[in-house]
């Protein structure tokens, strides 16, 4: 399944708002473009009262390179979250994660990045539900 198919199947939408900084990137280079992207999903799963549709949301701090000025797409945001989460799932310890990504396991910055990815992976799993989360990470084509 493609990422676009996954987004349609799981009723995921996004709205982006400009921000002056990304709280997950305290040392971001000047001139980067920062956003808070609000992912939203409509569902009729058991958490809805009497099976009625409910909406769940997840705010995602998101930053782009200097040359990108347009709003990030839902595919970019969900794709990046999925890539980061998949790395966390495949490398459950900080040392494994650093080794996989070629990062220094004696770096506080690397440790903060790892913890951010871990936290966002948990939020993504809660947002999508376990099965959809696994489908996104392991059965969905991403660019």
Q: Is 25 helix (H, G, I), strand (E, B) or coil?
A: coil
Tell me the residue range of the domain where 83 lies: 3-139
Of all residues in the chain, what percent carry a pLDDT higher than 90?
Answer: 71
pLDDT of residue 53: 65
Please give the Cα distance from 110 to 45 (Å, whole number).
37
Say how many domains are in the chain: 1
Q: Per-residue pLDDT tens for 2-12? A: 999 999 999 99
Q: Name the nearest CA neighbour of 60 among 96, 13, 3.
A: 13
Contact present, 14 and 77 (Cβ < 8 Å): yes
Residue 78 has pLDDT above 80, yes or no: yes
pLDDT band at 21 (very low <50, low <70, confident <90, very high): confident
Please give the Cα distance from 49 to 2 (Å, whole number).
31
Which tokens is 33 given? 């473009």
Q: Per-residue pLDDT tens for 80-130? A: 999 999 999 999 899 999 999 999 999 998 999 999 999 999 999 999 999
Which pTM value belongs to this model? 0.88
Please give the Cα distance from 59 to 15 (Å, whole number).
10
Residue 8 carries which DSSP code?
Answer: H
Q: Who contacts 70 (Cβ-Cβ below 8 Å, separation ≥6)? A: none
User: What totals of helices (H) and strands (E) does the chain contain, helices first?
Assistant: 5, 3
């Amino acid at each position: 399944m493609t990422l676009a198919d996954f987004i349609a199947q799981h009723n995921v939408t996004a709205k982006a708002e400009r921000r002056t900084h990304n709280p997950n990137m305290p040392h971001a280079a000047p001139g980067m473009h920062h956003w808070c992207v609000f992912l939203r999903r409509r569902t009729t799963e058991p958490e809805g009262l009497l099976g009625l549709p409910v909406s769940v949301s997840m705010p995602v701090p998101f930053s782009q390179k200097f040359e990108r000025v347009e709003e990030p797409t839902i595919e970019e945001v969900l794709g990046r979250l999925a890539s980061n989460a998949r790395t966390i799932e495949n490398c459950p310890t900080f040392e494994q994660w650093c080794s996989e990504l070629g990062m220094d396991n004696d770096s506080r910055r690397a440790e903060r990045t790892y913890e951010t990815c871990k936290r966002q992976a948990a939020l993504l799993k809660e947002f999508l539900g376990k099965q959809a989360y696994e489908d996104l990470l392991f059965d969905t084509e991403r660019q």
